[in-house]
Structure 1
Amino acid sequence: MLNKLIKLFPVWAILFAGVAFFSPHLFVGIKSYIVPLLMLIMLSMGLTLTLQDFKNVINKKSAIGVGMLLQFTIMPITAFLVCYFLQLDTELTVGMILVGSVAGGTSSNVMCYLAKGDVALSITMTALSTLVGVVLTPVISGLLVGQSVDFPMLPIFISLLKIVVLPIAIGILINSFLNKQVQAISSLLPLISMLSIVIIIAIVVALNAGKLTDVGPIVMLAVIIHNSIGLFSGYFITKLLGFDEKTSRTIAFEVGLQNSGLAAVLAMKFFSPAAAIPGTVFSLWHNISGSILSGYWAQKGFETDLDKEAKLAAAVVTEP
């Protein structure tokens, strides 16, 4: 039952966004809950992690290194170019750059699982990119938009420490010392994260209900282009570099699916509600595109190295 509810994430996000758009008064009054809700998501993520997850980096450092490099180069640069060619205003540009500069989203872990990717690799990459993003997100964003707008790099860095690192660290500690108790509620953690991000989306939509009619279509176009380039470059670049199908699918989701909820929160906190629109639209869209792609890959399947070896052996045996 819980899995069915979680798989309907895009439906809930669109439903809540629609309610917020037509009845913004239902959510405007709880805008102060945005940061606590995001911290709850980060805490939930921490509760799923152990120190061993980070030790796995040693075994898959090449895949993680390539994925992280693509994450923090392709996504921010693509966001900048999309804003330039679509001539988005300053507020929307700041929002798009923040979306491109944040870490991979936790929804990538779910999509990776559905697409039969490497879930352990996905979780490790999400956790590491989230922690590395505490430094890289303000630096990259500041470099790309610092000349156009006063970008508070240090305050954003400090805020990321509080919103991201602290709750994740607390979650890991709790999981380390109270693992049995955490396992008992582990099935609820994805649902808690989903509900939290859905409410964040609804609040941001409610705060921008009047402006969404004007900028919604152009932002949606920007987000679709941005997300598509991230997904496809993450997949095809890793394939060209010789990674197997399972790893390439995993990195595609890590690169293309952003922690857009965090981007929306930072935009709201340090800039304006309008700057949070790209993060909100991205949150809606990347769950839809991710669900479609994971469904396609799940149906398609793939050959493992063992399958290829078996075919090769069979071919050798049948040779005259």
Structure 2
Amino acid sequence: MLVRKVSFTPYLLLTARERNKGGTADNVYSSLVIQFRLRGIFYCLAFMCANVVKNPKLVSLQRATNNIVKKGCVMKTLRVLGKGSKVLANFSSIFVIAIAVATLLVPSLMSWVNTRLFTDFLGNGFSWQSLIIGFIMFCMGLTLSKNDFKVLAQRPFDICVGAVAQYLIMPLSAFALCKALHLPDALAIGLMLVGCCPGGVSSNIMSYLCRGDVAFSVGMTTVSTLLAPFVTPFLMTLMASGISIQLKPVPMFLSIIETVIVPVVVGFLINFKYENNKTYQEVRACMPGVAVVGLACVVGGVTASQGHAFVASGAFVFLAVFLHNAVGYVLGYSAGVLTRMSRAKKRTVSLEVGMQNAGLATTMATSNPQLSLLPEAAVICAVSCVWHSISGTLLAGAFAQWDEYQQRRAAKKVPVEKDVPTVV
């Protein structure tokens, strides 16, 4: 219910001298903006109350202030940051690798990421790494709109196929590779954790680059993320039953709720309210670059704490990550072929299944009270973070190059009509 009348009126902001002169609130507000007086503090309070009290003078003041902001340097700065964010997102693999290599040489560079801040009532530890992952998921929530959920309603079969492929192909392939390669318990836990996590946000960007179905990609990511609190703990508990460590599903469920679902919902609600605001749109354009920086910090934090373990078993770990990722791409594309999807959707399913949210897996491996007993598990998760970004970029580029090759080949096959001389 909106309050139409309040005791805190703009007239109270006038000084006694100005009231005697018959000054108005609008005149005083203008002078506050221009002369930067101390009473600008009260002006800001009145500005924030504009949405609640719906005072006509305050609303007109709010509009005037928005015009000042739009014409100032704030919008220009946001546009520059947005362009830089786009460039950083396009070269995310190089940036993440650079941070990982730098941290491997100087571990203290990213050691702050592993600083534990607090612990919840189930023993899940929260470090800067957990907060960074939460912010990355918040950035994903900012990209969701009402239209994305309409797509889910319009394509139930495709979304179901993608979700089943996501949580069937990657967990089973991870389990099979662990048995085939005879991975130690710690590394096996890490690989299975990557396989049981939802799809990565960067797969949406890769779908766009390879001319896939972006709306379908966002829908698959959304559904797999919303299912993660229920499916991921169940699958991990089921597959890790033969390993020395006993996993409890409840702490894992709560950890995913705290670091994934809550940030995504908050981001979606903010986007729902301010989607048409121009200033907000400029701020949102900066989020992909911020997410890349956050992912680099997560990888750097694991490298700082487990870099020595990666050096000791680097080739073996990379082989497991490479095979797991490749199987996801191939079987994901095959799922699209079997269900007779379009070429764009086949590519989308391939990227969505193969590219996992390894950043979430890394955070869970370090914050979960049971998983943290096996610190080497975070190593294979961190390697997956880097490699999935690289392989996704390469695969998207290969799809795009194939399209260009097909277009050039088709252009050569088009017969050229020759001019036939006419007889006069």
| Shared fold per TM-score greater than 0.5 | yes
Q: Which moved more, 1:248-257 or 1:54-63?
A: 54-63
Q: Is 1:57 matched up with 2:155?
A: no
Q: After superposition, where does 1:1-320 map in structure 2 within 5 Å?
A: 1-2=83-84, 3-31=86-114, 32-148=127-243, 149-179=245-275, 180=277, 181-270=279-368, 271-272=371-372, 273-301=375-403
Give, in whole Å, the separation in 1 of the partners of 2:224 and 2:280. Answer: 24
Deviations 1:222-280 (A, max 9, x none): 00000001011111221132111001001111100000000010011122331111111
The alignment yields a C-alpha RMSD, in angstroms, of 1.8
Q: Identity of counterpart residues, as a percentage?
A: 34
Q: Which amino acid aligns with 1:75?
A: M
For residue 29 of structure 1, report the CA deviation from its aligned partner.
2.7
Q: What's the TM-score, normalizing by structure 1?
A: 0.92
Give, in whole Å, the separation in 1 of the partners of 2:113 and 2:134. Answer: 15
Q: What's the TM-score, normalizing by structure 2?
A: 0.70
Query: Larger % of helix: which?
Result: 1
Contact 1:245 1:302 in 2 (8 A): no
Give, in whole Å, the separation in 2 of the partners of 1:239 and 1:54. Answer: 25
Q: Which runs of 5+ in 2 are unaligned?
A: 1-82, 115-126, 406-424
Q: Which moved more, 1:232-241 or 1:286-295?
A: 232-241
Contact 2:203 2:217 in 1 (8 A): yes
Give, in whole Å, the separation in 2 of the partners of 1:117 and 1:276. Answer: 32
Contact 2:113 2:298 in 1 (8 A): no
Give, in whole Å, the separation in 2 of the partners of 1:95 and 1:144. Answer: 12
Give, in whole Å, the separation in 2 of the partners of 1:299 and 1:213. Answer: 35
SS in 1 for 2:313: helix
For residue 302 of structure 1, report the CA deviation from its aligned partner.
8.3
SS in 1 for 2:200: coil
Give, in whole Å, the separation in 2 of the partners of 1:244 and 1:30. Answer: 43
Contact 2:226 2:261 in 1 (8 A): yes
SS in 2 for 1:146: helix
SS in 1 for 2:286: helix
Contact 2:111 2:304 in 1 (8 A): yes
How many residue pairs get aligned? The number is 306
Q: Which runs of 5+ in 1 are unaligned?
A: 304-320
| The structure with more radius of gyration | 2
Contact 1:231 1:252 in 2 (8 A): yes
Whose relative contact order is higher, 1 or 2, with alpha carbons under 8 Å and at least 6 apart? 1
Deviations 1:155-203 (A, max 9, x none): 1101111111101111111111122143121211111111100110010
